[in-house]
Amino acid sequence: MSYIIVENDFLYAERIKVILAEAFGADDIYVFDNVKETLAFCQNHTPEIIICDIFLEGNKTGLDLLDVLRDQHIPIVMMTSSVSPEFYEIAKQIKHVNYLIKPIQALSLISTIEKLLNETGTSPKEDGLFVKGNHNKHIKVLFDEILWIESEGNYSTIVTKTKKYTLKQPLKNLIVVLDDRFERCHQRYLVNLNLINSHSQDLLHIESFTIPLGRTFRLKILDRLAAKK
C-alpha cells in the first residue's frame, strides 16, 4: 500500500512515517509539504490513503487539496492543531474523510486509517489489532488471541488468555475493524464467538471467564452460536 503524508513540519511527518511503518509495515510512503506537489504526484499515482495537515507551505491549505480530490474517493485523514468547528464540519460532510486534532496519538491514527480503509473497501483483510506494548512499541494482537473486548467510556480493554491491553478508543470504533467472528453481546462487551465454550440465558462462558449476555443482543448471539454447531 502507498501512503502520502502532506505536512510542513518535517519532524511531525517523520513521526507519522514511523507509525505507518510499525503499524502497517508501510515502506511506500511519500512526503510533501504543499498542495501543488501533492496534486502533481496524484496525477500519475492513486494512493491508498492521504494524511494531510490543514496548514501547509504556499498559499493553499489542506482544505484546497481536499476540495480537488473529494470526487476521487481517496481516504483522507485531515489533521490540525486548530479546534475550529469549521474544519470538522467540512470533513464530516465527506464520507471518505476523517479529522484528527494534533497532537495525534498513534493508536488514534491507526484506528482512523483502518476505519477509512474498511469504509471505502480498500483495506486488505486484517487479522489483528495494533496496541501499545512494552517501551511504547506497537504490536499486533491477533484476532484469534482475543477473548473479548470490554468498553469503559472512550476506552476499551482487549482481553487475551495472558494479557490485557487498554486502548483510548470507544467500542464503536473497534467494531468496524474487527471481522465477523466478533459480535456485540452487551452494551459494554464484544466477544469472540469462536472461543465461547458454553452459555446460559444471561451469560457467556469463555475459558474460565463469564461475560454478561444482554437482552438486546441475546437473540442474535444465540442464533449465531446455533449456526456454528
Q: What cell was used for 77?
A: 485523514
Residue 59, classified by CB atoms within 10 Å of its CB into exposed (0-12), middle (13-18) or buried (19+), is: exposed
Q: Which three cell numbers stand for residue 226?
A: 446455533
Instruction: Tell me: pLDDT of 82 over 60.
Output: yes
- CATH number of the domain where residue 15 is located: 3.40.50.2300
- 32 and 107 both lie in a single domain: yes
**Could you tell me whether strands 196-199 and 155-160 are parallel, antiparallel, or unpaired per DSSP bridges?**
unpaired
Lowest mean pLDDT among 133-142, 178-187, 198-207: 133-142
Side by side, the strands of the sheet bearing 189-192 are: 164-167, 155-160, 146-152, 189-192, 182-186
Phi, psi dihedrals of residue 188, rounded to the nearest 5°: -110, 0
The one-character DSSP state at 103 is: S
Residues 116 and 17 in one domain: yes
Query: What's the structural domain count of the chain?
Result: 2
Q: Are residue 68 and residue 155 in the same domain, yes or no?
A: no
Residue 126 has a pLDDT of 63
Query: Are the beta carbons of 148 and 189 closer than 8 angstroms?
Result: yes
Note down the domain range covering 216.
128-228
Same domain, 215 and 132: yes
Question: pTM for the complete prediction?
Answer: 0.60
Confidence of residue 135 (pLDDT cuts 50, 70, 90): low
Output the domain CATH number for residue 188: 2.40.50.1020
> Which pLDDT score is estimated for 1?
66
